[in-house]
Amino acid sequence: MRKLMNKAQMEMVKVMIKGRAILAGNSGEGMVDSAVKILISIVIGALLLAGLYALFGDVILPTLQERIEEMFNFAG
């Protein structure tokens, strides 16, 4: 009976040591950093895209349309 108790106690110690190693490990720490970098790049990309879309819609395309109309309006 004593051997069985000692064996069970040793198994529990092994499980506790494995648990501590898992909790102390920082193997997934780089994943959080990568996720934050990806989110930041998505937000910056969306802002740039929105800015370019507004710039083309309000400034560049109307000016371009006026210039093309002036170029082909050579009637007089």
pLDDT in tens, the chain (76 residues): 888 888 888 989 998 888 888 888 776 677 788 889 999 999 999 999 999 888 888 878 888 888 888 888 776 5
Distance CA 46, CA 26 (A): 32
Note the pLDDT of residue 41. Answer: 96
SS3 string, the chain, reads CHHHHHHHHHHHHHHHHHHHHHHHCCCCHHHHHHHHHHHHHHHHHHHHHHHHHHHHHHHHHHHHHHHHHHHHCCCC
Q: State if pTM tops 0.85.
A: no
Q: State residue 56's pLDDT score.
A: 83
